[in-house]
Amino acid sequence: MSKIRRFYKAFRWVVLAVLIAALFMVLRTPEPPAVAVSVDAPQRVEQKVRRLATPDGRIAGSLRLDEGEVNGWIQSSLKAQSQSRRGSDTGRQQPISNAALSAPADRSAAEVQSNVRDIKVHLEGDQVTAYVLFDLHGKDLSLTLSGHLSAQDGYLRLSPTQMSLGSMPIPRAALERAIGSVFDAPGNREQFRLPPNVRDLRVDKGDLVVTFR
């Protein structure tokens, strides 16, 4: 019996040490990857789209965006969203009543979701690697996700190959379940719907390729 008790105590400390190490790895934000960024990406993307426009106003053919254009477009979008959010917050500022202070907060999912601070994308071969820095309850956390993009039945899909939260790698089985639940959850599915005129989306030779119908 004493051996069992000693084993239990030792096992408990081992588990505690593993949990502390895992927490440290999750909270340890790695350095963001060095990626190409084109400051004039929005203009370049617009020019490429115009070249694909047909006389009847449709877009036909394939649009190829390099890593710099993808990151530049993402940074421009994040900046615009941040400015819009700050403007909305300022416009909603109202005096706080005692009733509002005593009542429970009624927040929407959009208001409580993690706040994305930065996104960097690396394109290599046929694979995309995304580095996402987000704020979770005042703490900066990072997520690094690699995989293959595709379009299936009008929806964006990602076949993951690797993911890490902070500096902690996520096991492959848990990774596939997590990605599957994100893309297939009823509340999330429509967020990944592609425009009706997009037939395919993939990474090819280090470029993001969007093929229109």
Amino acid (1-letter code) at residue 168: M
Residue 2 lies in a domain: no
Q: Specify whether the CB–CB gap between 38 and 44 falls below 8 A.
A: yes
Residue 25 lies in a domain: no
For residue 121, the cross-strand partners are 130
Band (25; pLDDT cuts 50, 70, 90): low
Task: Calculate ∠ Cα 145-151-156, nearest 5°.
Answer: 50
pTM of the model: 0.72
Q: Is pLDDT of 105 > 80?
A: no
Q: What percent of the chain has pLDDT over 90?
A: 35
Residue 72 lies in a domain: yes
Residue 154 lies in a domain: yes
Give the pLDDT score at 113: 41
Residue 148 lies in a domain: yes
Residue 149 lies in a domain: yes
Residue 194 lies in a domain: yes
Phi, psi of 168, deg, nearest 5: -100, 115
Q: How many domains does the chain have?
A: 1
Tell me which residue range forms the domain holding 139.
31-90+116-212
* Segment of 19-23, 140-144, 160-164 carrying the highest mean pLDDT: 160-164
Give the pLDDT score at 146: 94
Give the pLDDT score at 87: 63
pLDDT digits (tens, 9 = 90+) for 188-208: 788 888 999 999 999 999 999
Band (100; pLDDT cuts 50, 70, 90): very low
Residue (of 148, 108, 143) closest to 127 by Cα position:
148
pLDDT digits (tens, 9 = 90+) for 146-168: 999 999 989 999 999 999 988 88
